Amino acid sequence: MIRLLLGGTRSGKSALGEALLAAGPPPHRVVATGQALDFAFRERISAHKRARDTRAAVIETGAGAMDVLAREAAKGGTILLDSLDFWLFACHGRIGDRHAELARGFAPYAGPYGPELIVISAETGLGPVAPDAATRQFVDALGALNQAAAALAQDVRLIAAGLSVQLKGNAP
């Protein structure tokens, strides 16, 4: 099963992702895509690490996240991908079809008997249009990627103010 959790900054999507990871079948793994480029972001990543269950293995991947997902599926259990937006950011400047990579990475989780994949991503389409071309290009690419992920997912939720709204599916 693929679960997609969408929300803004500090919306509660990571907390829900952690709770779903803990409730899913073991083994538990976190595929982390964020790369700390400044002190404040290093602190944010550290806070996420402290909040995670220490029994969950953390695999730091950056742009290689979809290869890791494809490889880790054979181990079963539950995987938390944190996050799709930072994976896209890590892929900046790389040649390739992100939608094809996403489909390949998600494929082993799509079946009813596959392992569980929980995907966190920022929902960027709720704010004003960015004034610069680079930000607009990233937001457009992420919006298209979120739509592709939602099409593949059986459970899609929007998280705001710590509250989850079911957009697709009826998973608990």
Which residues participate in catalysis according to the annotation?
48
Those residues whose C-beta lies under 8 Å from the C-beta of residue 4, and which sit 6 or more positions away, are: 119, 121, 146, 149, 150, 153, 155, 156, 157
Those residues whose C-beta lies under 8 Å from the C-beta of residue 163, and which sit 6 or more positions away, are: 12
Map residue 7 onto helix, strand or coil. Answer: strand
Strand partners, 166: 157
- For residue 36, CA distances in Å to 43, 96, 109 come to 9, 24, 28
The distance from CA 34 to its chain's CA centroid, rounded to whole angstroms, is 10
Report the C-alpha gap between 124 and 134 in whole angstroms: 14
